[in-house]
């Protein structure tokens, strides 16, 4: 089933950024949108924007398992069982080794990794019972290796990759598809304050089209854009001494801009 018509897409982090754009794109393709976010105002704005489409919203924190289970249960009662999960809720805060704060590291991991696991737990039992469904986790090319100032983010996204690899092996034989998405920088409110020139970021509309196409094709793993993916993969293939040297040069160059 490659069409999104009559499918229910549960999207976390749907109030802003890539989650919001994915809700728009999938709604335009006929999907019913079960939108979850941390605060009500962005969800109300999304519902108003998608007036006339099939949409229901719920406020929940993905790190609060019981609350998330209740919220997703309410959404599925309104729209029907979710057969597509897009776990896109995430945060990115600086976690530098020079001023390492374990609480900041934990906060990032709780949202970006534990929150994804909680989201999966909210829909997976029903998918297994129905023997169909599609789990999509938004990871990052930052999952390929650790980068300076991004210890929490890189670790959390590497964890998402491992989680979805594990799920895919067990669930594919049951008719449940599992997709890991690894984009580079996407131009969203979360990335506005990062010192990456906007021209080097993927527009959110373009990113959403890439992601929806990967979901449609049921790809197990999809990373983009190709130029950034090649660079990060090269860092993983090189000896660590070379790779670390190149990363330090990249950081120094970025800080000069």
Residue 201's domain spans which residues? Answer: 8-256
Residue 201: band (very low, low, confident or very high) from pLDDT cuts 50, 70, 90: confident
Inside any domain, residue 149: yes
Average pLDDT for residues 108-120, to the nearest whole number?
A: 98
Q: How far apart are CA 198 and CA 3, in angstroms?
A: 33
pLDDT of 77 > 90? The answer is yes
Average pLDDT for residues 181-205, to the nearest whole number?
A: 76
What pLDDT shows up at residue 57? 98
Average pLDDT for residues 58-78, to the nearest whole number?
A: 98
What pLDDT shows up at residue 183? 96
What pLDDT shows up at residue 193? 62
Average pLDDT for residues 214-222, to the nearest whole number?
A: 98
What pLDDT shows up at residue 1? 46
Confidence (pTM): 0.93
Inside any domain, residue 238: yes
- The residues annotated with a catalytic role in the active site are 153
Average pLDDT for residues 98-113, to the nearest whole number?
A: 97
Inside any domain, residue 2: no
Smallest CA-to-CA distance from 94 within 162, 147, 161 is with: 147
Q: How far apart are CA 54 and CA 112, in angstroms?
A: 27
Residue 44: CB partners within 8 Å, gap ≥ 6? 57
| CATH number for the domain harbouring residue 75 | 3.40.50.720
Inside any domain, residue 81: yes
The least confident of 111-115, 130-134, 186-190 is 186-190
Q: How many domains does the chain have?
A: 1
CA 247 to chain centre: 24
Residue 87: band (very low, low, confident or very high) from pLDDT cuts 50, 70, 90: very high
What pLDDT shows up at residue 254? 61
Average pLDDT for residues 239-246, to the nearest whole number?
A: 95
Enter the tokens of residue 134: 């599609």
What pLDDT shows up at residue 2? 53
Q: How far apart are CA 33 and CA 203, in angstroms?
A: 22
Decide: 141 and 223 in contact? Cβ < 8 Å. Answer: yes
Q: Count CB-CB contacts under 10 A for residue 50.
A: 17
What pLDDT shows up at residue 256? 56
Tens digits of residue pLDDT in 2-29: 579 989 999 999 999 999 999 999 999 9
Q: What average pLDDT does the structure give for the chain?
A: 93
Inside any domain, residue 1: no
Average pLDDT for residues 248-254, to the nearest whole number?
A: 77
Smallest CA-to-CA distance from 9 within 81, 66, 112, 63 is with: 81
């Amino acid at each position: 089933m490659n069409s999104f018509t009559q499918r229910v897409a549960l999207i976390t982090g749907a109030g802003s950024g890539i989650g919001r754009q994915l809700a728009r794109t999938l709604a335009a393709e006929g999907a019913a949108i079960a939108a979850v976010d941390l605060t009500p105002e962005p969800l109300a704005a999304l519902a108003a924007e998608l007036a006339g489409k099939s949409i229901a919203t719920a406020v929940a924190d993905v790190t609060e398992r019981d609350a998330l289970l209740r919220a997703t249960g309410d959404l599925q009662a309104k729209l029907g069982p979710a057969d597509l999960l897009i776990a896109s809720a995430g945060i990115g805060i600086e976690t530098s080794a020079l001023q390492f704060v374990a609480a900041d590291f934990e906060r990032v991991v709780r949202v970006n990794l534990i929150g994804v696991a909680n989201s999966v737990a909210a829909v997976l039992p029903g998918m297994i019972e129905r023997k169909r469904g599609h789990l999509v986790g938004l990871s990052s090319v930052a999952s390929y290796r650790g980068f300076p100032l991004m210890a929490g983010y890189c670790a959390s996204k590497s964890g998402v990759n491992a989680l979805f690899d594990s799920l895919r092996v067990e669930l594919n034989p049951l008719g449940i598809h599992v997709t890991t998405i690894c984009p580079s920088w996407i131009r969203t409110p979360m990335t506005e304050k990062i010192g990456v020139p906007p021209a080097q970021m993927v527009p959110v509309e373009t990113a959403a089209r890439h992601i929806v196409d990967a979901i449609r094709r049921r790809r197990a793993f999809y990373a983009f854009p190709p130029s950034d993916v090649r660079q990060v993969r090269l860092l993983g293939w090189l000896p660590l001494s070379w790779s670390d040297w190149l990363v330090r040069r990249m950081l120094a160059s970025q800080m000069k801009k």
